[in-house]
Structure 1
């Protein structure tokens, strides 16, 4: 999906993810995928000036891979110690806690893809 995202886009993207996971027989991954995907979309809204991105949901033998590609070349970086009352800075820590694997791929064109994978219990 090629999108320009805004403050309310995550709700629609979660609905699409939920539908794909149900169709693939992976409804047990829905909560994790929706929350992690919401964090990545929020980062695009917050940090990418044109708010354009490409989102890919990929069925894999072990589960699902989600990729969010945007035109901002700067990779996300952990915020370190985040104050308990802070409203930002928890996204990567949350991603780390939720998913089985995640990473960032930089392209020669100056864009980046932040991705994560969630595995079914049989592959953990």
Structure 2
């Protein structure tokens, strides 16, 4: 992955897992399955943004023990240093940061 070329070997696994979870949410919940992904090399590490056209509040919550779904944002929270949601007029951007 290009993170190696950026000198971010130590965050590659976490960033890959978090990105996979966010894109999976788009596939499951966004009509048309459209999104944009932005990678930003920051002084402290990496910031990744996934933007889509559906406005809704997101939060990491613990699903029922027997639930088959609902752990994605908890995974993002667990493997990244920071994450959040920015509401926009035309949807939302879910972002995370991994310190390098």
TM-score (norm 2): 0.92
Structural mapping, 1:1-124, within 5 Å: 19-78=1-60, 80-108=61-89, 110-120=90-100
CA RMSD of aligned residues (A): 1.2
Aligned residue pair count: 100
Q: Runs of 4 or more off by more than 4 Å in structure 1?
A: none
Inter-partner Cα distance in structure 2 for 1:74 and 1:54: 17
CA distance in 2, matches of 1:43, 1:49: 11
CA distance in 2, matches of 1:21, 1:51: 25
The answer to whether the Cα contact below 8 Å between 2:62 and 2:74 also exists between their aligned partners in 1 is: no
The TM-score, its normalising length taken from structure 1, stands at 0.75
Inter-partner Cα distance in structure 1 for 2:32 and 2:98: 29
Gaps of 5+ in 2: none
Structure 1 unaligned residues grouped into runs of 5+: 1-18
Q: Which has the higher contact order (CA 8 A, sep 6+)?
A: 2
In structure 1, what is the Cα distance between the partners aligned to 2:53 and 2:85?
13
Q: Secondary structure at the match of 1:45?
A: helix
